Structure 1
Amino acid sequence: MKTLFKNYFNTFKGLSNEIWWLALITLINRAGTMVIPFLALYLKEDLHFTVSNVGWIMSAFGLGSVAGSWLGGKLTDTLGYYKVMVRSLIATGVLFIALQFLNTFASICIGIFIVMLVADTFRPAMFVALNAYSKPENKIRSLTLIRLAINLGFSAGPAVGGLIITGLGYSGLFWVDGITCIIATLVMIQVLHPKKAKVLDEIKNENPVSAYKDKVFLTFLIAMILFGIVFLQYFSTITIYYKDIHSLTELQIGLILGLNGLLIFIFEMPLIKWLENTKYTKLGLMFFGIILTGLSLFVLNLTSWSGVLIIGMLLMTFGEMIAFPFSNAFAVDRAKKGNQGEYMALYSISFSIAHIFGHNAGLQMTAHLGYDNTWYIITGIAVICAIILFSLNEKLNTQKNIKVWKTKKIL
């Protein structure tokens, strides 16, 4: 057991102090994001919107995310990542608190759009900051540590969120979410000021390649949109499914969602450390991740036993643990060719586009086709995504082999 713990903690060695501070800020911020997993339920149960209306509101959520990610990339390349991160965090905190006072369909659509517009300017800036504060050889583990912080916060957030809803109602979630964003801002100003932080990998390109002309990267983004559509069912459709079909309470839903974050906290870093040393490429590992994520929804149709929800969550969690860190790392590697803010903005936008279509499509399909057919269709999308990743991986391997062959021929 002692050796097991020693090996676990050894996977964290070599990461910079700035990465640890960035992880702490992310943890504080994510611990308060209790609203997001319960947003669809809040709109349906507390404000009594129809499932169809909830779908359109979630599309506004996605549109705001797209706009915010694009704007964040532009601002990061002009103002710098630090200013963008600070201003995004503090403004998001205030907006989350204000969001609870909106109660009409139009006002909530506009409010959700504005909140996500401001909140998601943070994402491209955070990726660029992470790239700057991490040594090149530690990029994947640094990305994994940030995800670890996200999921540690996410494991506590839904569980505590369920308790808050039970005791104080949904309005309590908005207050906690807003306050934690503000706290995260104050911590960042104190510990991660540019004068205190040490940049380890500053990349400057005299003639940067446009991300919009990088065909490999654009194909990769299509796969990420499809993966996002599959994955995001766990943040809208699946919570309503838990309640409508399996009659779970908000507290039980929060505990199942919290299991996801807890498992990631325990297993992701050792798993990534091990996978880094295998022969598989980043895209190859992402292929396995999306297959597991698709299976997590497919198994829900195999039985009416509620225990299958845990099996589905386990499959999704391990799929997510494999797919996300290596997709992040692939995007960061490609970003070195051009303006990093532009590349990371497009990477963030791919998930924002998934927000536009994923939530709405899932909710509309469940309303008109039923849950069983919805899970089959979403599984089909996962298969298409896996095929694209497999094909892209084969193409890059072929290009790599051709370059090696030409180099040997010259020599």
Structure 2
Amino acid sequence: MKTIFKNYINTFKGLSTEVWWLAFITLINRAGTMVIPFLSLYLTKNLNFTLIEVGWIMSAFGGGSVVGSWLGGKLTDKIGYYKVMVFSLIVSGFLFVALQYLTTFVSISIGVFILLMVADMFRPAMFVALSAYSKQENKVRSVTLIRLAINLGFSAGPAIGGLIIVTLSYGGLFWVDGITCILAGILLLNVLHPKKVKVADEIVVEHPKSAYQDINYIIFLFAMLLFGVAFLQYFSTVPLFYKEEFKLSEFQIGLLMGMNGFLIFVLEMPLVKSLEKSMLSKTSIVIFGAALTALSFIFLNISSWVGVLVIGMFFMTIGEMIAFPFSNAFALDRAKKGNQGEYMALYSISFSIAHIIAHNSGMHLIAKYGYEFTWHTTTVVMLVCIGILYYLKGRMLKQKDHH
């Protein structure tokens, strides 16, 4: 047991202090977005909106996320990642607090759009900062640490959020969310001020290449968009499937979803470290992760035995742990050639667009054709994603473009 623990701790060795601070600030920021999982509940229960209206508000949410990611990337290339991160954290803090005072459909739609636009400017800036703060050989593990922070934040956030709603009401939730964002911004000002920080991997590109002209990168992003559309079903339609087809309680669904976070927390870092040592290219590793994710959807249709849900969740989680850090590192590598903010913005945007498509299309498919058909369709989406990645791998080998 002691050796296992020691080996686990060793997988975190060599990461810079700056990366640790960045992970901690990201953790506060993510745990602080507790409003998000409760937004649809708040809108239907407290403000009596219809599901159609909530659907539109969630689309405004996705739209804000796309614009914010794009804007964050542009500004990062213009004024630098540090200023963008501070602005995003502190201003979104005030916007969170303000959101509770909006009550009409139009005002909330606009409010949510603006809030997400400001909040998601943080993402591309954070990735560029991450790239600057970590040495080349630690890139994938640095990304993994940030993912751990995001996952911990996502797991802790809803739990804390639920408590706050029960004790303080929804208003309290907006206040706590806002204050945590502002605190994260103040912490960032203090610990990561450019004057105090040593940059590990400074990349200055003389004639930066536009990410939009990098055909291989665009192909890669299209594959990641498809991956995102399938993967996100686990956070919208799959829980419904658990409830309706398998009659699981909220608590049991919570345990299954919790298993995802727990496995990531325990296994992701050691897994990534061992894969990093392998001679496989990043594209090959992402293909492997995508194949496991596809397999998880096949399992959902195999039998009416409840165990298939656990097996499905297990395959999806391992697939996610393999695919995301390496796809992220692939993007960071490509970004070296050009406008880093623009590259990382497009990476974020591919997932924001996946959010807009995934939940809506999943719900529509289920309503019209049922669960079995939906999971078959999702499997096909994953197979297309794998096909595109294979094509990309071959294309890059031909061009000897190893980034």
Offset at residue 4 of structure 1 (A): 1.6
- Once the 2 structures are TM-superposed, how far is the Cα of residue 133 of structure 1 from its aligned partner? 0.6
Task: Give the match for residue 336 of structure 2.
Answer: 336
- Is 1:228 equivalent to 2:225 in the alignment? no
The residue type paired with residue 318 of structure 1 is I
Q: Which residue number in structure 2 is paired with residue 176 of structure 1?
A: 176
Q: Identify the range of structure 1 (100-109 vs 68-77) with the bigger mean alpha-carbon deviation.
A: 100-109
Which has the higher mean CA deviation after the structures are superposed, 144-153 or 163-172? 163-172
Task: Indicate yes or no: 2:213 matched with 1:213.
Answer: yes
Letter paired with 2:216 = V
TM, length-normalised to structure 1:
0.90
CA drift at 1:356: 1.8
Give the residue type in structure 1 aligned to 2:68. G
Structure 2 stretches lacking a partner, 5+ long? none
1:256 aligned residue: 256
Q: Which residue of 2 aligns with 1:113?
A: 113
1:154-181 CA distances to partner (integer Å, 9 max, x unpaired)?
2222333444455555555433332321
Tell me the distance in 1 between the aligned counterparts of 2:187 and 2:213.
38
Q: Distance in 2 between matches of 1:250 and 1:38?
A: 14
Deviation at 1:50, TM superposition (A): 4.6
Q: Match of 1:350?
A: 350
For 1:178, give the aligned amino acid: G
Separation in 1, partners of 2:55, 2:310: 25
- Deviations along 1:195-250, whole A, 9 cap, x unmatched? 11111111111111111111000101101111111122233333444444455555
Q: Partners of 2:342 and 2:333 in 1: how far apart? A: 13
Deviates more, 1:328-337 or 1:52-61: 52-61
Amino acid aligned to 1:129: A
CA RMSD of aligned residues (A): 2.4
Say if 1:16 and 1:133, in contact at 8 Å, map to a contact too: yes
Separation of aligned partners in 1, 2:309 and 2:163? 21
Judged with a 3 Å threshold, the aligned counterparts in structure 2 of structure 1 residues 35 and 242 are, in CA distance, closer, same or farther, namely: farther
| Residue in structure 2 matched with residue 200 of structure 1 by the alignment | 200
Per-residue deviation, 1:319: 1.1
CA distance in structure 2 between the aligned counterparts of 1:266 and 1:290, rounded to whole angstroms:
21
What one-letter code is carried by the residue in structure 2 that aligns with 1:13? K
Q: 1:279 corresponds to which residue? A: 279
Q: CA deviation at 1:266?
A: 0.8
Matched positions, count: 402
Amino acid at match of 2:361: A
Counterpart code for 2:210:
S
Whole-angstrom distance in 2 between the partners of 1:346 and 1:39 = 26
Q: What is residue 185 of structure 1 aligned with on the other side?
A: 185
Equivalent residue, structure 2, for 1:89: 89
Structure-2 change in CA distance of 1:321 and 1:299 (3 Å): same
Contact 1:161 1:173 in 2 (8 A): yes
TM-score (norm: length of structure 2): 0.91
Call closer, same or farther: CA 1:40–1:359 in 2, change over 3 Å. farther
Tell me the distance in 1 between the aligned counterparts of 2:220 and 2:30: 27
Aligned counterpart, 1:408 = none
Q: Distance between the aligned counterparts of 1:247 and 1:172, measured in 2?
A: 33
Letter in 2 for 1:332: L
The amino acid that maps onto 1:110 is I
The separation in 1 between residues aligned to 2:32 and 2:282, in whole angstroms, is 31
Partner of 1:80: 80
- Give me the whole-angstrom Cα distance separating, in 2, the residues matched to 1:265 and 1:18: 21
1:14 aligned onto 2:10: no
Change (3 A) 1:49 1:297: farther
1:155 alignment partner AA: S
Question: What does the per-residue CA deviation read over 1:48-89, in whole Å, with 9 as the maximum and x for residues that have no partner?
Answer: 555444433322222111100110011111111111001101
- Residue number in structure 2 paired with 1:64: 64
| Identity level (%) | 66
- The amino acid across from 1:374 in the alignment is T
SS in 2 for 1:337: coil
Give the SS at the match of 1:203: coil
